[in-house]
């Protein structure tokens, strides 16, 4: 589960009781355009137009997953964990997959693009780690690395 960690003013702007639409309800979602999505605590994948904040799509609540999604021809063609509001880990895929399966929407076997988010232990700014470069772009401090997972792929996960 991921709590909202983005700017407080975006959370303030959330209208209580408003959520994104459950995926699969139509609403022009199937046009190859990227949408913002969250998987809520009930395991429902909700989408909103791309410019929407994830926290609005989630009604200000914690989520199981969040990111961007593109649907075309009734199937998912792109799906990522890109949400700076929730910074979901790559492992949130399990909940995305389960939500899509429940909605009966064809999907890939994993995120089409995986983002790694780290808050800097020194300056607290949010970094998106690229190319395994675990260094803060704001202050050059080292960012926490993912466990003992070998960076050169010497050890593969299950």
In the complex, the residues that contact Zn ion under the rule CB under 5 A are 120, 122-123, 136, 138-139, 141
Give 10 or 141: the residue with its C-beta nearer to Zn ion: 141
Rounded to an integer, what distance in angstroms lies between the CA atom of residue 139 and that of residue 153?
A: 28
For residue 132, the minimal CB distance to Zn ion (Å) is 17
Give 18 or 122: the residue with its C-beta nearer to Zn ion: 122
Q: How far is CA 67 from the centre of its chain?
A: 3
Residue 75's beta-bridge partner residues? 72, 106
- Closest residue by Cα to residue 47 from 5, 98, 100: 100
For residue 142, the minimal CB distance to Zn ion (Å) is 9
Give 69 or 120: the residue with its C-beta nearer to Zn ion: 120
For residue 129, the minimal CB distance to Zn ion (Å) is 12
- Closest residue by Cα to residue 137 from 122, 152, 154, 148: 122
Q: For 94-114, b where at least 16 C-beta lie within 10 A, e where not — what string?
A: ebbbebbeeeebebeeebeee
Give 128 or 139: the residue with its C-beta nearer to Zn ion: 139
For residue 124, the minimal CB distance to Zn ion (Å) is 7
């Amino acid at each position: 589960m991921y709590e909202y960690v983005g700017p407080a003013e975006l959370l303030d702007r959330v209208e209580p009781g408003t959520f994104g639409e459950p995926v699969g309800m139509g609403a022009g979602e199937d046009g190859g355009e990227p949408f913002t999505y969250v998987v809520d605590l009930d395991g429902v994948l909700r989408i909103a137009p791309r410019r929407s904040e994830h926290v609005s799509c989630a009604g200000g609540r914690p989520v199981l997953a969040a990111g961007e999604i593109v649907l075309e021809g009734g199937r998912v063609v792109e799906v990522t964990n890109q949400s700076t509001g929730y910074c979901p880990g790559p492992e949130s895929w399990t909940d995305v997959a389960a939500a899509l399966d429940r909605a009966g929407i064809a999907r890939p076997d994993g995120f089409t693009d995986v983002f790694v988010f780290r808050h800097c232990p020194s300056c607290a700014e949010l970094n998106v780690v690229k190319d395994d470069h675990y260094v803060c772009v704001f202050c050059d401090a080292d960012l926490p690395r993912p466990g003992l997972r070998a960076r050169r792929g010497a050890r593969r996960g299950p």
